[in-house]
Amino acid sequence: MTGYAEPGASRDGYGDALLDMAGDDRVVVLEADLGKSTKSCHFRAEYPERTFCLGIAEQNMALVGAGLAESGKVPFASTFAIFSERAFEQFRNGIARTGLVVHLCGSHGGMHTGQDGSSAQSTEDLGIFRTLPGVTVMTPSDRNSARALTRKLLDHDSPSYTRTARNKTSEIYTEEAAESLEIGKASVLREGADATIIACGVMVERALEAAEQLASNGIQAGVIDMHTIKPIDREAVIRAAGTGAVVTAEDHSVIGGLGSAVAEVLSEESPTRMRMVGVRDKFGESGSPADIMEKMGLTAAAIASRVEELVS
């Protein structure tokens, strides 16, 4: 693997990973006219004979991926997260139902997308794909984790959906640390006895900021990066319940996403006081990522406030 000068966005990590895996002739890349945005363009530039540009046709892209998987290839397909929803029926019936291993990446997910506005801010994608039997669902927190987790899909035995972000985030993992990540196993970033914050995607950075704020007020909150929403790490969720207070944080609707997944585990295994930080049953609007995240309550302060409610 080669390195790079600055952290970048998780979509950059996806593009990095495609090049990392290029030595395996089974890897093929599919695009829906958005290779420059999803960063699959770098693979296309070097391996045009293994890249399929299908235009604005996500439904067709999904089924072409199924055909390639049936032929022994490992297809990596990408588009915007919002447009991945166009292909839901084809992904369901042509890929998930048949058990064919196709990996779909949806870039520009969530409110963090910012100026693209409500029509492009997918806040339901993780929940939609989480409903499909046998489908792995991931949302990495930074460039390095996106790179490492995407590379591990090469030998993954089930289809997957991965959400990446448009904008740069802080480096949560070094390249070396990211290599230890495992699909389906949560990453504990900070220990804390008073409460646990379970976050995913761009909200992991905010969860760590919230934990720092809480520590200055005498509250020790642990932070877990739940990069794999499905299969969720049930043991990690149950351990988190041991602190007696759980707060989830996601740039996604609280309906069907990380908060729902954690609540499902807790309700069955260890009923625990919990709160959810996420999008509250509404569409977004156009604005800077910082302004939109603030308006939607997707901030470190909002996470800290939820923790304080439970602890107090």
| Nearest-5° Cα angle at 159, 169 to 86 | 75
- Residue 235 CA neighbour count, 13 Å, CB half: 5
| pLDDT score recorded for residue 234 | 98
Asked if 112 and 167 touch (Cβ cutoff 8 Å), the reply is yes
| pLDDT score recorded for residue 7 | 64
Nearest partner of 223 among 253, 250, 199, 252, judged by Cα = 199
| pLDDT score recorded for residue 85 | 96
The model's pTM: 0.95
| Alpha helices (H) in 106-191, listed in sequence order | 125-130, 143-151, 175-178
Spell out the domains of the chain, with CATH numbers in brackets. 10-163 (3.40.50.970), 187-311 (3.40.50.920)
Exposed, middle or buried, 184 (CB in 10 Å: 0-12/13-18/19+)? middle
Take residue 292 and report the two structure tokens written for it: 């939109």
Which residue in 6, 46, 49, 58 is the catalytic one? Answer: 58
CA gap 238, 269 in Å, rounded: 7
| pLDDT score recorded for residue 114 | 84
58 annotated active-site: yes
pLDDT tens-digit readout, 221-248: 999 999 999 999 999 999 999 999 999 9
| pLDDT score recorded for residue 116 | 85
Asked if 141 and 147 touch (Cβ cutoff 8 Å), the reply is no
Asked if 261 and 228 touch (Cβ cutoff 8 Å), the reply is no
Q: Which residues of the chain have pLDDT under 50?
A: 1-5
| pLDDT score recorded for residue 6 | 57
CA gap 107, 184 in Å, rounded: 20
